[in-house]
Structure 1
C-alpha cells in the first residue's frame, strides 16, 4: 500500500516537473518572440527615422570632428549633422571670442535681418594652419588635398553618435578607455602662444582635409600644434616639445 502511494506521489512529482519544464520553455519561447518583435519594431522605426531625418531613435551625443568635413565611417551609428569651416578670432585681436566655431557651409541669411558693412561688431575669420611643413610627417595626408597643410584653412563636421549617452576628448592619449567607442584620434591644436588672445585646445583629426582654395597666407585665426613645456609639467612622462596626441570617444 505504502509502495503504491509512493509510486503515485513520485509519478505526480515527475508529471509536475515535466509540466513545469514545458511551461518554462513556452515562457522562454514567448520572451524570445517578444524580444524579436521589439527588435523588428525598433529596426522599422530606425529605418523610418533614417529615411526622414538621417538619425536613429534613442537620441545620442554630438561632437565636432575638427579637420574633416565628414564623420567616421567605422560605425553605422554615427551620422553627419552638418559640415562647415573652422573659424575664430583674428590672431592679433585682443578681444572677440576665444573658442573655435564650426560654421555651417550652407550658411543662410534671413531677408531683411542683416546690416551689411563694417559696423564695429565682433569679427570672425577662417582658422589657418600656421606651422611649417615639418608637421606633415605627423599626419596621414592621404585625404588631404594636394597633400599639403601649411597655410590652408580647416573644415569641420558636426557628428551625432546615435544611441550614445556621453562623449569625451582625452588629450595625451590615442586610445579610448575600455568599453568606450573610438570616434577619431589626432593631435591637440590651438592658437599660437604669441597670439594676442586666448583660444581653446581642440583635437584635430590625424587624417585631415583642408578647405580648397585657401592655401595662401591670408592670415586670420591661427591654429598650431601644441607642445608641452616642462616648467610646470613633469618631464616624465611628458617630453618637452613633443606634440600631444588626442582621442575622441563615446559611450
Structure 2
C-alpha cells in the first residue's frame, strides 16, 4: 500500500509530465512563458512603486514650499511684533527704512534760567489729553515747569550748518518706531558703523554751557523744521549747538571749537 507522501510525489511528477507533453504539442515552452509572465508582473510592480515614489517626492516638495512660506510669514510677524522707538528731534516725520510715525509734537523742557525741573528733553504730543486738573496757581508754586523749545542757533552771526536760518523758531519732534530691535545715538559721527542702519543724522544740541538749567545732549535733525507761529524770541527751553573743547578731550582726533555731528542708528 502506497504512503501519502509517495502519492503526492507521483501526482507532482504526473503534472510535470503533462506540462511537458502539452508544451511539445503546442510547440511552446510553458516554463519560459511562466517566467516571462512573472517578469512582466515584476516590471509592472516596479513601475507602480516608481509612480508612488514620484508622488511622494512631489508631496515632499509641496510641503517644503509650505514650510518656507510659513517661515517667511512668521518672520514678518516677528518683525511687526518687535522693534524699538526713538525721538527724531527737529522733525515731524519718520523717514527711516522700515519706520513708522507713532506721534508728532513739540520739543519741550525746563526754562533756561531755572535750576529745577527736569534736565531731559520732552516730545509733547500735538494733541494732549488731561486727567484731573485745576488751572492756574492758587498758592505757592511747588511745581515743575515745562516750556517749548526754541532754536538759539545763529545768534551773533555764528556759523549755521543748516540750509536756512533757524534762530528763535520753535522746535518740533517725532516719536518713530523701527522694526529693528535696538537704536542708539552716536555723537561725533555722521554715519553708522557697519551692520547698523541710519535713521537720521544731524548736529548735537544742548543748553548753553553757563546757563542755570542744564540739559541732556540730543541729536537735532540736520534739516530741522519749525512750528508755525513760534518765531517770537520767547526763549524758554533753548537749544544750542555743541562745540568740542580740547584738553581732557583728546585733540586730534577731535578739533577744538568744531561743531559735533551725530547720527541715530538701529539694528
Q: TM-score, normalised by structure 2?
A: 0.72
Equivalent residues in 2 for 1:75-224 (5 A)? 75=97, 77-110=98-131, 113-118=132-137, 120=141, 121-132=143-154, 134-136=158-160, 138-139=161-162, 141=163, 147-162=164-179, 164-224=180-240
SS in 2 for 1:36: helix
Equivalent residues in 2 for 1:20-31 (5 A)? 27=60, 29-31=62-64
Partner of 2:256: 240
Question: Shift of residue 24 of structure 1?
Answer: 7.5
**Counterparts of 2:57 and 2:159, CA distance in 1:** 65
Post-superposition CA distance 1:93-137 (Å, at most 9, x none): 011100000000111123xx101113611111111111225443x
**Counterparts of 1:25 and 1:148, CA distance in 2:** 67
Alignment of 1:32 with 2:65, yes or no, is yes
Q: Any unmatched runs of 5+ in structure 1?
A: 1-18, 47-55, 142-146
**Counterparts of 2:56 and 2:196, CA distance in 1:** 40
How many residues are treated as equivalent by the alignment? 214
Q: Any unmatched runs of 5+ in structure 2?
A: 1-51
Question: Shift of residue 179 of structure 1?
Answer: 1.3
Larger radius of gyration: 2
Partner of 1:14: none
Alignment of 1:68 with 2:91, yes or no, is yes
SS in 1 for 2:72: helix
**Counterparts of 1:186 and 1:26, CA distance in 2:** 55
SS in 2 for 1:165: coil
Question: Shift of residue 207 of structure 1?
Answer: 1.1
Question: Shift of residue 245 of structure 1?
Answer: 0.6
Cα 1:25–1:166, aligned 2, differ >3 Å: closer, same or farther?
farther
Partner of 1:8: none
